[in-house]
């Protein structure tokens, strides 16, 4: 802010790294706000509570959003898992069943009338994936992610030590509207799982609610829900960065990752995150081009004794 921007890399001995033009922060929805707060950029009370001198009072780590995912699982006895020999074509030709991402079946739906857009995203898988080393289990996995949720969480500091993990509070299902969506999503998933075409393949229940009553469904959602790995919003466009991804009031600093998305898209965030990175690259290249052009014209003006012409609005170009 006053002097060159840089970063400190914590090793056996501390090392300072400096940049010539600007720093582009791309540490992700959890770690970008953590690094900013460790640098004194954030709601003033947050860095100060950990002995860090506040440098810019901005809403960092707020408005955390994510897609909550709810699944029901039935074991099968009809060989829905990997087929013997299916891995054969993978290594030599990059083809075959093992090139599948396993969860390639899905869709979008509105669970009630009057919605402008889908509020759930379906996913289906033919197996239960192991949690760590192990084999897959043939199963019918039917799930739905909640879209357009209104619950908001927060990322905050756990410690002033850079190696410490940040504190992440998602606040899933904190708003009654989101709980209602979860109930409708689970009932929609159960309707699919109990259709005759799938019922004949079911061998046993593996992960299902005790009943379709509101209480049992909500208990199941709170106990078994998981993230779909689509967090956004902790360095939001508008409140924290401007349209060129520059941090308000801090020169030479941009954020370019999914944390700048002010609202969560109704679908996977991968394409949007790629777009943010590509747009940031375009903005940086454009700025460098403008600066280089201005310097060349200023140099030419000094050589000829005539001032460089300016664009409308006063910017040399």
Residue 170 near residue 79 (C-beta atoms within 8 A): no
Which residues are CB-contacts of 139 (< 8 A; sequence separation ≥ 6)? 73, 74, 75, 76, 80, 81, 125, 126, 127, 128, 206
**Are the C-beta atoms of 208 and 73 separated by less than 8 Å?**
yes
Which of 67, 230, 248, 289 is catalytic? The answer is: 230
**Are the C-beta atoms of residues 255 and 244 closer than 8 Å to each other?**
no
Based on its alpha-carbon atoms, the radius of gyration of the chain, rounded to whole angstroms, reads: 25
E strand spans, the chain: 6-9, 15-18, 23-25, 68-76, 105-109, 120-128, 137-146, 154-156, 167-169, 202-207, 226-227, 253-255
Interacting residues of 34 by C-beta distance below 8 A, sequence separation 6+: 27, 61, 155, 157, 166
DSSP string, 44-63: THHHHTTTPPP-B----S-S
Q: Is 201 in the active site?
A: no
Residues facing 64 on adjacent strands: 153
Rounded to the nearest 5 degrees, what angle is found at the Cα of 294, between the Cα atoms of 290 and 298?
A: 175
Of 307, 304, 246, nearest in space to 279 by CA? 246
Determine the distance from the C-alpha atom of residue 37 to the mean position of all C-alpha atoms in its chain, rounded to a whole number.
19
* Token digits of residue 241: 């960065």
3-state secondary structure 113-144: CCCCCCCEEEEEEEEECCCCCCCCEEEEEEEE
Catalytic residues: 230
């Amino acid at each position: 802010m006053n002097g060159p921007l840089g970063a400190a890399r914590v090793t056996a001995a501390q090392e300072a790294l400096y940049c010539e033009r600007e720093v582009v922060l791309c540490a992700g929805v959890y770690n970008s706000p953590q690094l900013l707060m460790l640098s004194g950029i954030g709601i003033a009370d947050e860095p100060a509570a950990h002995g860090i001198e506040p440098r810019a009072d901005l809403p960092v780590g707020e408005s955390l959003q994510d897609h909550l995912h709810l699944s029901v699982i039935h074991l099968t006895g009809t060989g829905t898992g990997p087929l013997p020999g299916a891995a054969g074509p993978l290594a030599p030709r990059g083809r075959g069943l093992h090139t599948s991402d396993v969860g390639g079946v899905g869709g979008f739906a509105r669970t009630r009338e009057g919605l402008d857009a889908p509020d759930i995203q379906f996913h289906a898988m033919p197996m239960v994936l192991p949690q760590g080393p192990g084999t897959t289990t043939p199963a019918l996995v039917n799930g739905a992610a909640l879209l357009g949720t209104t619950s908001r969480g927060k990322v905050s500091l756990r410690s002033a030590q850079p190696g410490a993990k940040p504190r992440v509070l998602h606040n899933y299902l904190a708003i009654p509207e989101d709980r209602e969506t979860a109930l409708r999503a689970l009932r929609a998933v159960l309707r699919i799982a109990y259709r005759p075409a799938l019922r004949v393949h079911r061998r046993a229940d593996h992960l299902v609610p005790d009943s379709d009553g509101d209480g049992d469904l909500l208990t199941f959602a709170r106990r078994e829900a998981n993230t779909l790995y689509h967090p956004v919003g902790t360095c939001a466009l508008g409140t924290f960065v401007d349209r060129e991804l520059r941090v308000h009031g801090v020169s030479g600093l941009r954020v370019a990752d999914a944390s700048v998305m002010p609202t969560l898209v109704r679908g996977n965030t991968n394409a949007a995150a790629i777009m943010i990175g590509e747009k940031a690259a375009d903005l940086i290249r454009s700025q460098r081009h403008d600066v280089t052009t201005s310097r060349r014209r200023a140099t030419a003006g000094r050589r000829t004794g005539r001032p460089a012409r300016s664009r409308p609005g006063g910017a040399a170009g």
